[in-house]
Amino acid sequence: MRISAVLSLVIAGLLTSCADRVEVYYSSNLNGNLLGCDCRGYPEAGLDKRAWYLDQNPLPEDALLLDAGNILETGRDPVLTGYILKTYEELGYQAVAVGTNELADSPGALMKRVKDGSFISHNIVSESEGTPLTAMPLILETKTGVNVAVISLADLDWFNPWLARFSGALSIIDPAAVLE
């Protein structure tokens, strides 16, 4: 299975005496699925199971909660999208990468969600602004004060066909060029 988005982490600040580690918890591919699917050969947990798990297993204070993308369904359902985004916020997700499912809506809707802080991408570019959707790097802080730089890079070959329908609005640059 090909990963459509990658979240990379770099320690951005010095570890303080009260924090000598960072734990990263991540998920991906919710696919707009609230209740999960016991589909044969491709079972998925839904948003309800993620919420239950996080309720039963509180994250340590030195943790980051991230998602590698594809949290939305591929159709346009503004009510479902709003519910998922609100729930992710309530669960404490600190960064969600843009996956191909997030491209199912219009470029304007995606760019608004990025500006609202719902999604990040460092190599999907707004053609009108000539810049990546998210400025480099995104610095997150754990509850214990450790700063962590988070970088979201979409796979060039995987995203190009999806972005072709947004020609003139969005494009993608090589992840290696972003890291130079």
The domain that contains 173 carries what CATH number? Answer: 3.60.21.10
Q: What's CA 129's distance to the chain center, in Å? A: 21
Domain range for 11 is 5-28+59-179
* pLDDT of 157 strictly over 80: yes
59 vs 102: CA distance, rounded Å: 27
Give the model's pLDDT for residue 2: 40
**CB 147, CB 141: distance < 8 Å:** yes
| Mean pLDDT of all residues in 63-83 | 90
Position 91 pLDDT exceeds 80: yes
Q: Rounded to a whole number, what is the distance in angstroms from the first to the last CA of the chain? A: 27
The answer to whether residue 155 sits within a structural domain is yes
Going by DSSP bridges, is the β-strand pair 95-96/63-67 parallel, antiparallel, or unpaired? parallel
Residue 89 lies in a domain: yes
Between 39 and 157, name the one with better pLDDT.
Answer: 157
The amino acid sitting at 129 is: E
- The stretch 32-54 carries a mean pLDDT of 83
pLDDT of residue 138: 87
Q: Evaluate whether residue 9 is within a structural domain.
A: yes
Task: Name every residue whose Cβ is closer than 8 Å to that of residue 173 and which is 6 or more positions away in sequence.
Answer: 123, 125, 132, 156
Question: 14: pLDDT confidence band, cut at 50, 70 and 90?
Answer: very low
| 60 three-class SS | coil
Work out the average pLDDT over 103-120: 89
- The answer to whether position 53 is within a domain reads no
Q: How confident is the model at residue 16 (pLDDT cuts 50, 70, 90)?
A: very low
Q: What's the total number of domains in the chain?
A: 1
Band of residue 11 on the pLDDT scale cut at 50, 70, 90: very low
Is 173 contained in some domain?
yes
pLDDT band at 15 (very low <50, low <70, confident <90, very high): very low
Residue 51, in any domain of the structure: no
In this predicted structure, which of 43-47, 100-104, 137-141 has the lowest mean pLDDT? 43-47
Is the confidence at residue 10, as pLDDT, over 90? no
156 domain-assigned: yes
pLDDT category at 20 given cuts 50, 70, 90 is low
Residue 35 lies in a domain: no
pLDDT band for position 93 (50/70/90)? very high
Q: Given this model, what pLDDT does residue 158 score?
A: 85
